Amino acid sequence: MLQPQIQERDWKAEAEGLRGQMTDDRLKALAETTGVVETACAKLSPGWATKDDLLRLRASGTGWQEDPPDGAWAFAEHGGDGRVVGLSLRAPDGRKGSIPTATSAGRGHSRASGTGTETSRALRFDPSASLRGSSLP
């Protein structure tokens, strides 16, 4: 079966657009949901994807098709060269999601996970992990 062709996105522009939709209330909710202090969450520069954004981006995650979230926090994934190469998502109820990329389509590519133990070609990421010793700007 042929997989639909997925065009590579301008991930940096997508991440910046979603960051523009982040509010102080959403940042506070992210901190409360993950148990991570707000200042640490802010260092990740999260964005907010609305339900319409999630549809437009073809976001998916466990249970998202049956019960789609009304929105999700979006975290830029960076490659080894520092470029934004994708987005990881976290719904307010804790479910993780991702957006298909041209390199991941149809290959079962492992994406950033909620546990940080699975391997991703782009990175390992856990938005609820401690940022002790982090070199994030």
pLDDT of residue 101: 81
Say if residues 107 and 89 touch (Cβ distance below 8 Å).
no
DSSP at 75: E
Mean pLDDT computed over 65-75: 96
For residue 127, the model assigns a pLDDT of 53
∠ CA 49-58-120, nearest 5°, is: 85
pLDDT digits (tens, 9 = 90+) for 51-62: 999 999 999 999
* DSSP-assigned states of every residue in 46-66: -EEEEHHHHHHTT-EETTTTT
Residue 124 pLDDT exceeds 80: no
